[in-house]
Structure 1
C-alpha cells in the first residue's frame, strides 16, 4: 500500500512538473500572479500582505487600495499608499547582493546576464500584493521586531523601524513570510544571518500554516512545478540548516562565456516571445520581429493562448 501511494505521488509530481510553465521575468510574473493566484483575493478577508487591505484590480497587474477596509492612513506618501505594488518578500536587493552580477553592474546587469537572479526575481512564491507606501518603506530591510515603534499607518499593524533597518509584519503573515524566506534561501543557496534564522524559526513555530497559505501554495505549485516544502512540511528549517540549492541552474540557454549577446539569447528554442514594454508577442516562425526583442524585455510563453491570457497580442507583421 505504501509503495502504491509513493508511485501515485510520484506520478502526480511528474505530471504537475510537465504541465508547469513558470514565468521567466518579473514583468510576466506579476501578470500571472494576478490572474492565477490572487485574482479572487482582492476582496478576501486576508487582504494584501502588510495591512490586510482589500483592493480593486487596475490594468495588467496593479490595484487600488480600499483604505476603509483596513483603517489605513498614509504616513507620508498618500499617492503611493493608494495603490498595490508587488512585494518581494525576500527583497531583490537581498538575493541580488549574493550574486556576482550585482557587484558587476547592479540589478539591470543581473536581469540581462544571470539566469538564477531572473528565476529568483520572477519566483511566484516570493511575490505578494502590498500597500505601495509600506512596500517602499520596508525597502530592503530584513524582517525583525519593531516593538518600540508606534503605529505608522493608521490601523495597519505592520511597523518599520527606519533606524534599525527592520520591518515587523502583522502577526497574520509572520508565518507566511518566514516559510517563504526559508524557501528562497534554501532553493537558491543563500546565506542567512543567525539572528534572522532564529527570529523566523520562532515565527514559523508560533504562526502555523493557514488554509489560505495552503491554497496559495497549491495554486503556485501548479505554475512553478513544485511546492514550497516548508509549507508542506517536507522540510523544516532548524539551527544549522544546510541549504539544498535545487533552484540553482548553470547558464542561460544559447549563451557562452564572453560571447556577444544576441537579442533572443535568453529565449528557449520554439518558445513564443513577448515584449514586456509593448505587450506584443512574436512566433518563432513567420514573425520578423522574433529575433529583435531586447533580452531585458523578453517574456516567453509556451503557447499563443498563454500569451493572450497574459494580456499580449500577436505582432501585426506576423504572416
Structure 2
C-alpha cells in the first residue's frame, strides 16, 4: 500500500510539474541546509514567514522602497533560477509569442521552470537585482560592497552578475545540466566559463546530498 501511494504521488507530481510544487519540495529538501545561495546566511521558517539570521554579513542595497516603505524582499527567501527563465524559455515558440506568461500552459516550459536542479534559495533583493543577467568572471580589484560583506555584485549597466568563488561550481553544473537536458544553447564564452568554474569549484558534500534528494522526486 505504501509503495502504491508513493507511486501515485510521484505520478501526480511529475505528470504536471510546476514551479509552485517544486518550491514546496525544495523547502523540505533544504530543511537541513537553510542557507542563502549568494550570501551563505542562515534562515528559518516560522509559519509562513521567513526569518534571516543575519549576522551583519548582508546589508540591503535598498532597505526601503521608492515610496519609503520597508523593502520586504530584503528579508524574504525566494527560489531563484540559476539559469534564468528567459534563457531556457526563449528557445520555445510560446516565448516569442508573449514571454513567460504565454509559456505557462506549455508542458516543456513547465518542466524546465520546475526543475529543482536549477533552483536555489536567494534573498529576494538579490534575486530581483540579478534579474535575468548572465554571470561573469570578475576583474581584478573589483569591489564587492553593494550588499555589505556579502560577496555578490551586480553590474546593472552591463547586465552582469558576479558571485563568490564558493558557488561558481554549483552555478556551472546547473547551467551545463540545463543545457544538456533541455538542449539549451550556450554561447562559446558562457560554455567555456562554466567549464572553468566547474573545475575551479569541485562538487561538495551538500551538493551531492541535495542532488540525490532531488533525484528521488524528479529522476
- Does the alignment reach a TM-score above 0.5? yes
**Pairwise TM-score range, normalised by the shorter structure:** 0.7 to 0.9
Is the contact between residue 149 and residue 160 of structure 1 (CA under 8 Å) also seen in structure 2? Answer: no
Which runs of 5 or more structure 2 residues have no equivalent in the other structure?
A: 1-6, 64-70
Q: Given the alignment, which residue of 53, 77, 80 partners 2:41?
A: 53
Superposed counterparts of 1:122-133, under 5 Å: 122-133=114-125
| 1:228 match | none
Matched pairs, number: 202
Q: Provide the C-alpha distance between the structure 1 equivalents of 2:75 and 2:167, rounded to a whole number of angstroms.
A: 21
Larger CA Rg, structure 1 vs 2: 1
Is the contact between residue 67 and residue 82 of structure 1 (CA under 8 Å) also seen in structure 2? Answer: no
Is the contact between residue 144 and residue 152 of structure 2 (CA under 8 Å) also seen in structure 1? Answer: no
Deviation at 1:189, TM superposition (A): 0.7
What per-residue deviation string (whole Å, max 9, x for no partner) do you get for residues 182-227 of structure 1? 00111111111111111111100111010111101111111111xx
Q: Given the alignment, which residue of 168, 171, 177 partners 1:174?
A: 168
Q: Which has the higher helix share?
A: 2
Superposed counterparts of 1:1-319, under 5 Å: 20=10, 21-22=13-14, 24-35=17-28, 37-42=29-34, 47-59=35-47, 63-68=50-55, 71-77=57-63, 78-112=71-105, 114-147=106-139, 148-225=142-219
Is the contact between residue 145 and residue 168 of structure 1 (CA under 8 Å) also seen in structure 2? Answer: yes
- Shift >6 Å, 4+ stretches: none
What SS does the corresponding residue of 2:78 show, helix, strand or coil? strand
TM-score normalised to the size of structure 1? 0.60
Is the contact between residue 51 and residue 158 of structure 1 (CA under 8 Å) also seen in structure 2? Answer: yes
What SS does the corresponding residue of 1:52 show, helix, strand or coil? coil
Which runs of 5 or more structure 1 residues have no equivalent in the other structure?
A: 1-16, 226-319
Deviation at 1:81, TM superposition (A): 1.3
Instruction: Give the superposed CA RMSD.
Output: 2.1
Deviation at 1:149, TM superposition (A): 3.9
TM-score normalised to the size of structure 2? 0.85
Q: Provide the C-alpha distance between the structure 2 equivalents of 1:136 and 1:98, rounded to a whole number of angstroms.
A: 23
What per-residue deviation string (whole Å, max 9, x for no partner) do you get for residues 218-260 of structure 1? 11111111xxxxxxxxxxxxxxxxxxxxxxxxxxxxxxxxxxx
CA separation of 1:107 and 1:130: change in aligned 2, threshold 3 A:
same
CA separation of 1:18 and 1:175: change in aligned 2, threshold 3 A:
farther
Q: Relative contact order (alpha carbons < 8 A, sep ≥ 6): 1 or 2 greater?
A: 2
Deviation at 1:65, TM superposition (A): 1.7
Is the contact between residue 144 and residue 151 of structure 2 (CA under 8 Å) also seen in structure 1? Answer: no
What SS does the corresponding residue of 1:67 show, helix, strand or coil? coil
CA separation of 1:111 and 1:123: change in aligned 2, threshold 3 A:
same
